[in-house]
Amino acid sequence: MSMIQLHSVSKVYPPDYAGVKDVTFQVEAGEFLFLCGPSGAGKTTLLRLLFRSEQASEGQILVDGRNVTRLKGAGLAAYRRKLGLVFQDFKLIPHMTALENVSLAADVVGVPWRQSRRRGFRLLSELGLKDKYGVLPPALSGGEQQRVAIARALVNEPEIVLADEPTGNLDPERAAESLRLFARINEEGTTVLIATHDPRLLRSFDGRVLLMHQGRLLRREDLEPAASAT
Ligand SMILES: Nc1ncnc2c1ncn2[C@@H]1O[C@H](COP(=O)(O)OP(=O)(O)OP(=O)(O)O)[C@@H](O)[C@H]1O
Ligand SMILES: [Mg+2]
């Protein structure tokens, strides 16, 4: 069975704006794929539905056999622990250092303090932030904050990583470094789904790309004329 299955999923924002329309797709365990499309296409909405910070208006979402739309309370909390999320707007805690932001995510699921610090420090180092671990987010550049958010998403070795524009604030070199880190955790078995409107990220990527436009998932057939025109 596929790791992630969406069946005819729609999300209508009040009063009647469909952010996601009738989306169906599957993701296999261990896959690395991109979700692409212009601003407003519905990428963030789709990730929010998967994380269940938004509830689908219609359709079914199954992750690892669980019906995500029905989860609540402890079941929902347990489900979310399997996910690592990189938010488009980072959501770092401003009065905690970079390292504290990362290791807190491990502390709250019961990882011993020393171990959560060690893991956090290792990830920050891998992301080129070795010298910034004690700095508060407001004193970090946008790209540095983004890398702290990536480290936080990875600290609990989640089964699935959902990353929303994780390279949006990074220069090409840092973006490539972050992508290599995602690729490495993918090689270790993690399923990775990255949403982006940046086509540059796809240049050296030979995996599967899902394309969204105005809330809908485009099928291959929809793309062929455009592809042959270029
Ligand atoms: N809370 C909300 N209430 C109403 N409309 C919303 C809400 N969130 C998103 N939308 C609308 O749904 C559509 C899809 O938004 P979404 O944030 O998913 O796009 P996106 O593909 O992530 O875009 P971007 O590349 O700019 O991040 C947009 O037209 C947006 O205005
Ligand atoms: Mg978005």
**pLDDT for 186-216, tens place per residue?**
999 999 999 998 887 888 788 899 999 999 9
Given a cut of 70, whether residue 225 has pLDDT beyond it is no
3-state secondary structure at position 176: helix
Residue among 10, 16, 17, 214 to mutate when testing ligand 1 (max atoms within 8 A of CB): 17
Beta strands at 191-196 and 208-213: parallel, antiparallel or unpaired: unpaired
Average pLDDT, the chain: 92
Digit-coded pLDDT (tens) for 143-163: 999 999 999 999 999 999 999
% of the chain residues with pLDDT over 70: 95
Query: In angstroms, what is the span from residue 167 Cα to ligand 2's centroid?
Result: 12
Ligand 1 atom 17 nearest Cα:
44
Ligand 1 atom 10 nearest Cα:
19
Residue 174 confidence (pLDDT): 85
Provide mean pLDDT across the span 73-97. Answer: 94
Instruction: Please report which ligand is nearest the Cα atom of 36.
Output: 1
The answer to whether the beta carbons of residues 182 and 163 sit under 8 Å apart is yes
Question: In the structure, what pLDDT confidence band is assigned to residue 90 with cuts at 50, 70 and 90?
Answer: very high
Which of 20-29, 60-69, 218-227 comes out lowest in average pLDDT?
A: 218-227
Residue 229 confidence (pLDDT): 46
Whole-number Å distance between alpha carbons of 25 and 93: 34
Instruction: Please report which ligand is nearest the Cα atom of 40.
Output: 1
CATH class of 30-54+74-229: alpha beta
Question: In the structure, what pLDDT confidence band is assigned to residue 228 with cuts at 50, 70 and 90?
Answer: very low
Domain parsing of the chain, residue ranges: 30-54+74-229
> 130-133: long-range contacts at Cβ-Cβ below 8 A with a sequence spacing of 24 or more?
132/98, 133/97, 133/98, 133/99
% of the chain residues with pLDDT over 90: 81
Is the CB of residue 17 below 6 angstroms from any atom belonging to ligand 1? Answer: yes
Output the CA angle 20-21-22, nearest 5 degrees.
125
Residue 102 confidence (pLDDT): 98
